[in-house]
Amino acid sequence: MGLISNGTTIFDAGAIDSGVPTGAMSVMKKLTASSSATLSFVHGSGGVDFSTFKEYLFMFTSIHPQTDNVQFSFNGSVDAGSNYNVTKTTTHIDVYQSESNQANVLEFGGSHLDSSTDFQILVNDQGNAADENLCGYLHLYNPSSTTFVKHFLASFDRVGYNEYGAQQHYSGYFNNTADIDALQFKFSSGNIDAGTITMYGIA
């Protein structure tokens, strides 16, 4: 028996119908931190390619800082990583809850950028206790375009130094029509003690 949605056959005898569009995620590069000052993905380096796909996904797993109470951030490059200083405009939503149930807050716009070349914060107040880490993802759209600005959106979950659980959402754009050919991730102080970042191209 097939699966039909709105008159369109999706599955028939266990197979996806030939008329249904399918995409694929291709693993490009996986970086593993080990007391690393930064983790960088540079076009043409070790399988990294910012020109083939229209969408890229970066997955962050168990990122642990060396230093307590730090910010995790990123920036782009238009010169293959010689400089990470692309102008960005961004917005931010932060939802957090204390372990002791003393506070729960919804916050808007606290870590946004207004046409700034600064590194964009993705996670703030990150703790470095043995069981504390951050996880999440970042989508980057059409970075090789030389016509349009380049949009991105990100969502992260973290355990703060003050034992707050938080989910943080960021979105914005690189306000530059040059192609983005590198991204760099780092903490505001100290090294990335452990964790992985995996880059995927999405067809």
Q: Long-range pairs for 77-81 at CB < 8 Å and ≥24 separation? A: 77/42, 77/180, 77/181, 77/182, 77/183, 77/184, 78/176, 78/178, 78/179, 78/180, 78/181, 79/181, 80/42, 80/43, 80/44, 80/181, 80/182, 81/40, 81/42, 81/181, 81/182, 81/184
Report the alpha-carbon distance of residue 202 to residue 141 in Å, rounded: 10
pLDDT score, position 8 = 54
Residue in the block written with tokens 């959106």 = 153
Residue pLDDT, tens place only, 126-139: 999 999 999 999 99
* Predicted confidence band of residue 122 (pLDDT cuts 50, 70, 90): very high
Residue in the block written with tokens 């782009």 = 76
Cα distances from 58 to residues 40, 61, 74, 147, in angstroms, run 12, 10, 12, 23
Residue pLDDT, tens place only, 63-98: 999 999 999 999 999 999 999 999 999 999 999 888
State pTM to two decimals. 0.86
Strand partners, 94: 107, 168
Structural domains of the chain sorted by starting position, each given as residue range(s) with its CATH number in brackets = 25-202 (2.60.120)
Question: Cβ(75)–Cβ(202) under 8 Å?
Answer: no
